[in-house]
Structures are given as C-alpha cells and as structure tokens.
Amino acid sequence: MKTKQIFKIIGNTVLWLIFALALLAVVLSFSSTGEVPNVFGTGYLSVQTDSMQPEFNPGDLIIVKTTKTTDLFEVDDIVTFRTIIEGKPALNTHRIISYITIGEIRYYSTQGDNVSESDLGTVTAGDIVAKYTGVRLKSLGNIMDYVQSSIGFLICIVLPLAAIFIYQLVNFVIILSKYKEDEKKNAKINMEHLTDEQKEEIAKKYLESLNAKKEDK
C-alpha cells in the first residue's frame, strides 16, 4: 500500500472518529430522562465539585443508571438527586449514609465523602434520578462539558462535519476529473486502432447526424 493511501485512510479515520464522538455527546445530551443524558437507561454525568473525593474528582465523567420512583436504595449507594444549590435547581451526587422508613416511603440521608456534614434534609426515590455504577472516566467530563458548549459544538461538530464534506467533495471532483481524462484517453486509443476507411465512415455518419439536426430545426 502506498504512503499516500495510508495517510488518506488515517485522515478519514481521525475525522470520522472525532465527529462520531462529538455527535454522540450531543445526542446523549438531548436524550435525557430525568435530567440525566442517557441511552436505554445508561448515562453519564460530569463531576463539577470535589465533594466526593477520592471516589471521583472534578472533571471526571461518571457512568450512571437512571432510576425509577419505585426503586429502593441501600446505605453506601451513590445516587444523583434533585436539590437546590445556591437557590437554583440542580443535581447532586452523594452517598447514602442512612435511611428511615415511614409507611411505604424511605427517606434517605446523603453526604459527600469529602464533606464533614450530611446534606440538609432527606431525599426520597422521587428525588433520585440515577445511581452511580462505579465506573468513572478520568478528566473526560471536562471534554464533554466543552463539547456541549457553544464554542465546543462549533469546533467539535460543525467544523469536522464541514471538513468531512469538503474532503469528500474534493475527492469526488478529483475522481470525476480522472474518469473524464481516462475516457478521453480510451477514445483516443480506440481511434488510433481504426483503419482509414473506418475513420472516414465515422466522420461521414457524424456529418450526416449534424445535417439531420439542421433539417429538423
């Protein structure tokens, strides 16, 4: 395989890989259930604070499973729940440290591993939207946050897509040009193999077709 072909394959692969990863992030962000980007119940969240160190760190990407209001949770489960942070609705991911059952409802107390005090109030299964699977991808959360920003979307989605389109368009033009050039060469070669009588016959038929067109007009 020629070096040029190898670089062409590598270039195509890199472009499509970047585009596919970026597109996946965007698709997941628009396929959310209970505020958690997910596909078939498996989703991800980007860690924003250090409250759960050393379990995971700011900038990590954690893999979660979306939950139902009928699910039951146990002590030491790490869950993501709706809460209010600085006066605004938000999602928080902390560990369940205890719970009490009143009637048929469990009330869970939560706390960050890196926080000295438990969270204010309790949460129920209705507040919990996801459960941590134990899988984290170091620093990938920062990348996903960037991809979903306006500038990140432009750089990681729009520009790669434009580059792929232009690259394929240039390839198409080159192939088309080469095809036409080969057609001309083949036609020239075929003419060279004809006898003088055959060439005269072709020329005669060509002139007759031109005259016929003029008469039709």
At 54-73, the pLDDT tens digits run 999 998 999 999 999 999 99
Residue 209 backbone phi and psi in degrees, to 5: -65, -40
> Where do we find the tokens 């604070």?
49
Instruction: Report helix, strand or coil for 134.
Output: strand
| pLDDT tens-digit readout, 110-141 | 999 999 999 988 999 999 999 999 999 887 87
> Where do we find the tokens 């060279």?
192
Better pLDDT: 78 or 85: 78
Lowest mean pLDDT among 2-6, 19-23, 177-181, 188-192: 188-192
42, pLDDT greater than 90: no
Better pLDDT: 82 or 201: 82
Burial group, residue 156, by CB count within 10 angstroms (0-12, 13-18, 19+): buried
Q: Which of 43, 70, 36 is nearest to 135 (CA)?
A: 43
Query: Rounded mean pLDDT of the chain?
Result: 79
Choose which CATH entry (1.10.10.10, 3.40.50.11820, 2.10.109.10, 3.40.50.11540) describes domain 38-139: 2.10.109.10
Most confident residue range from 21-25, 142-146, 191-195, 205-209: 142-146
Element (H, E) at 36: strand 36-39
Residue boundaries of the structural domains of the chain: 38-139, 164-216
Element (H, E) at 25: helix 3-30
Instruction: Report helix, strand or coil for 21.
Output: helix
CA angle 21, 27, 29 (to 5 degrees): 105
- pLDDT band at residue 88 under the 50/70/90 scheme: confident
Task: Please say whether the dihedral angle defined by the alpha carbons of residues 28, 29, 35 and 36, taken in this order, is positive or negative.
Answer: positive
- What's the Cα-to-Cα distance from 162 to each of 15, 158, 213, rounded to whole Å? 10, 6, 46
